[in-house]
Amino acid sequence: MSRIYMDHNATTPVDPAVLRAMWPLYEESWGNPSSIHWAGREPAGKIDDARAAVASLIGAKPRDLFFTSGGTEADNTALMGVLLARKDAGRHIVTSAIEHKAILDMATYLEDLHGAEVTRLSVDGQGRHDLDELRAALRDDTVLVSVMLANNELGNLNDIAAIAAIAHERGALVHCDAVNALGKVPIDVAALGVDLLSISAHKICGPKGCGALWVKRKTPFEPYIRGGGQERGRRCGTYNAAGIVGFGKAAELAAERLASGWEDEVAALRDRLEAGIRERLDGVRVNGDPEHRLPNTTNLSFLHVDGEALVLNLDLRGIAISTGSACTSGSLDPSHVLVGLGLTDEWLAAAIRFSLGTSNDAAQIDQVVDAVVEEVEKLRALTA
C-alpha cells in the first residue's frame, strides 16, 4: 500500500540534503562551538553560515537572530522577554483568540503568575481580524501585540504590516509567529514592520528541535534562559550545532523553492483537491479565508461526518491528514481556532485539515479525492 502524506503543517520530511549537511556535525565537526580551540572553531563557523542562511530567508541581519529549541520556545521567549523588559511601561498584551497554543498558554501563564493583562482579539466567520477591534483594544500600557502571520489550522494570512503600524502608533511592540508561513510565502521582517518574529526548522524540511527568534535591534528584550552566555546572552545553552546547520540548509532549499515558483505550483494542487472533493460531494464547507491564505493549506468540514473517524479511515488507506494542530491532537475538545470562527457543532465535528508539501503531486491529489469521497459516503451511510 502506497502512503500519501498531507499533514505538512504538522511537520515535514527532512530533506536528504539537510541530512547530508548535518551528518558531519556528528562525525567530524563534533566539538563544542563555544570552545576556542580547533575542535570548536569548525562547528562555530558552520553555525555562522547557517545563521546567515536562516536570516536571509526572512530578510533579516544574522546578528539579530538567535536559535532556540523550536517554535514554541521562540514564541514563549518573545512574550516573556518583552513583558519583563518593559514591565515599567505596562503589563498589557494583545493577541488573537486563534493563535497557536504556544502563544495562548504563555499569555495565560503571564496573567496568572506575572500580573499581565491579556486581550484576545476575536475573528469573524472566516477567521479574519477586525483592525478597528485592535485599535480599540490598545491602551497606554500595552507593551506587546502578538499575531501570527499564517494560521496553522486554516492557512489564513493576516495583514501583519497593518497590525504593526496600528500597534506602533500606540507605542506597543509587535511579535509575529511565522512558524507555519516560513518557506510557503516570502517573508521580509522590514516589510512586515514587526519587532520580533518566530520560526522553526521542521516546517521547511529541516530537523525537529531547532527554531529561531528574530529580535529587531534595540528592541527591549529580557532573556529568560540564562547560563553560559551563548547567543550573546539572549539564549544560553550548548548549541544544537547539527540542528542549526540543518536549519541553515533547509532555509537555503526553501529560498530556492520560492524563487522557482513552488508557491503557485502547490496552490494549484490545493485548488485541485478542493474542487475535486466539492464537485463530487454536497455538504462541504471551506473553513477560513478563501482568498488570503497559505498556498498549501485547506481546512474542510464535511456535514454529517465525524472528523476523527474520517482521519482514521483514511489512515487505514495510507493517507495522513489531521483534524487540526498536531500540538493538540490528543485533546478531545474541538479546535479553539474553529470555535473562534463561530462554527456550529455539526461543522466543528467534521473539520479536516489538508496541508500539502514537496512530496505531493497531481496523481496523489486525485487518489486522495477518490478516497475522501468514498470514506465520506460510507460514514454518511452509517448515520443516515
Short-list 349, 309, 313, CA closest to 333: 349
CATH architecture of 261-383: Alpha-Beta Complex (3.90)
The pLDDT confidence band at residue 2, using thresholds 50, 70 and 90, is confident
Give the model confidence (pLDDT) of 138-194 as tens digits: 999 999 999 999 999 999 999 999 999 999 999 999 999 999 999 999 999 999 999
What value does the mean pLDDT take over residues 269-297? 97
Host H or E run for residue 355: strand 351-355
Cα–Cα distances in Å, from 143 out to 31, 98, 162?
A: 40, 20, 17
pLDDT at 326: 45
Whole-prediction pTM: 0.95
Q: Pick the catalytic residue: 176, 205, 210, 327?
A: 327
Of all residues in the chain, what percent carry a pLDDT higher than 70? Answer: 97
Q: Is the pLDDT of residue 330 over 60?
A: no
Give the model confidence (pLDDT) of 53-104 as tens digits: 999 999 999 999 999 999 999 999 999 999 999 999 999 999 999 999 999 9
Cα–Cα distances in Å, from 311 out to 103, 316, 378?
A: 27, 9, 13
- 16-257, which class in CATH? alpha beta
Ordered by start, the domain boundaries in the chain are 16-257, 261-383
Q: Do 261-383 and 16-257 have the same topology in CATH?
A: no
Q: Which residue has the cell 505550483?
A: 265
What value does the mean pLDDT take over residues 216-238? 91
Q: Is the pLDDT of residue 328 over 80?
A: no
CA-CA distance, 35 to 26, in Å (whole number)? 16
CA-CA distance, 152 to 178, in Å (whole number)? 10
At 231 the three-state DSSP class reads helix
At 91 the three-state DSSP class reads coil
Cβ–Cβ under 8 Å, residues 321 and 188: no
Tell me the pLDDT of the chain averaged across its residues: 95
Q: Which residue has the cell 521562540?
A: 74
Cβ–Cβ under 8 Å, residues 77 and 221: no
CA-CA distance, 118 to 158, in Å (whole number)? 20
pLDDT at 333: 73
Active site residue 327: yes
